[in-house]
Amino acid sequence: MPDLAAKGPELTDRTRLALLLAPALLLLGGLFLAGLGLTLLRSFRYMPALGLTEPDLAAYVAILTTPDFLKSLALSLWIAGASTILAASLAIGAALLLRQTFPGRAVVSFLVQLNLTVPHIVGAIGILYLVSQSGSFARLAHAAGLIATPAEFPVLTHDPYAIGIILLYVWKELPFITLILLANLQTLGEDHEAVARSLGASRWQAFRHVLLPMILPGLAASSALVFAFAFGAYEVPLVLGQHAPKALPVLAWQAWTDTDLATRPEAMAMAIVIAVVGLALLALVARGLIAGDRDAP
């Protein structure tokens, strides 16, 4: 076996990079791309085990012509969009607050990070116990005489606006975006804002025209991840969502677990739609980041 260490200095930077990246790429390519490839094949109804060897677009035609699918797609876009915008806006505020030094900052910081460790499904059940019409808040409001019966408590779970789901996602993803932004802000320091102020910018202008553009790459990347997750995860809408329309991932999951094997290509087609939306968004952000890099090499 050739002595790699001795040959080290002769390796070009490009070769070295390729060697270092190989394990991660193999894992990613092997599991993710292969899985996606198989899903794609099945969404084209290529399933030799069932005697289907002629790929076609029937599954896509089937889902695109069902009103259920379009309603589910719209609902999932609403859930992911609203959760992301709310979580990102609140995270900006939280990060700006947490970069200051104040007594108890470590405690607040710890509490913010704590819920990153709570699984989504546990959080969803917690929300159910707290804000459903038979939950603790409804009973407290009833006991306090604010409402006559617990049924008067606003419908926040299994509701058409998916408020319970959005609430859970905001609560779960807020700390994630906050952490990314906080790291970003701490690297940047406050000098650029001080310059902006000394050049006549108000506090708001310094934020809007200097700080926000500077943290935008981190904000866009973390928000895109949150969007893609909220758009594609199925366990939270399964617990907190209404019966119909269902969130898209729930619809896909139910089609896949249906006893009728013929609905599987449709499930795969829906999975592909979910993946394409997520990937397109990430590609868009990545393109923006690369363009930003090229401007400032």
Partner 1 sequence: MTALVLDQLRKSYAVAGQAALHGLSLAVESGSLTALLGPSGSGKTTTMKLIAGLIAPDSGDIRLGDRSIRDLPPERRGVAMVFQNPLLFPHLTVAGNVGFGLRMRGLASDRIAASVAEMLERVRLTDLAQRKPAQLSGGQAQRAALARALILRPEVLLLDEPLSSLDPGLRDEMRQLIRALQRETGITTIVVTHDQTEAVALADRIALLLDGRLAQYDSPQAFYGRPATMAVARFFGGVNFIPGTARAGIFDGALGTLTLPPGLPEGPGVLTIRPEALRFGEGPNPRAAQIVALSFLGSLTRVDLDLMGVPLQALVTPDTARTLGPGTEVQVSLPPEALWLLPPDA
CB 216, min distance to partner 1, A: 8
The token pair at 243 is 């019966």
Q: If binding is defined by CB under 8 A, does position 191 make contact with partner 1?
A: yes
Q: Judged by CB under 8 A, which stretch of 1-9, 54-62, 117-125, 190-198 contacts partner 1?
A: 190-198
Q: Judged by CB under 8 A, which stretch of 132-140, 213-221, 241-249, 262-270 contacts partner 1?
A: 213-221
Query: Which residues, numbered 57-116, are part of the site for partner 1 (CB under 8 A)?
Result: none
CB 197, min distance to partner 1, A: 4
d(CA 252, CA 267): 5
Burial of 2 (0-12, 13-18, 19+ CB in 10 A): exposed
Measured from the CB atom, is 86 or 214 closer to partner 1? 214
Q: If binding is defined by CB under 8 A, does position 201 make contact with partner 1?
A: yes
* String of DSSP letters for 128-160: HHHHSTTSHHHHHHHHTTSSSSGGGS---SS-T
The token pair at 74 is 């719209």
Burial of 259 (0-12, 13-18, 19+ CB in 10 A): exposed
d(CA 76, CA 281): 15
- The residue from 141, 214, 221, 282 that contacts partner 1 (CB under 8 A) is 214
- The residue from 15, 134, 187, 205 that contacts partner 1 (CB under 8 A) is 205
Q: If binding is defined by CB under 8 A, does position 287 make contact with partner 1?
A: no
Q: Which residues bind partner 1 (CB under 8 A)?
A: 191-192, 194-203, 205, 209-210, 213-214, 216, 292, 295-297
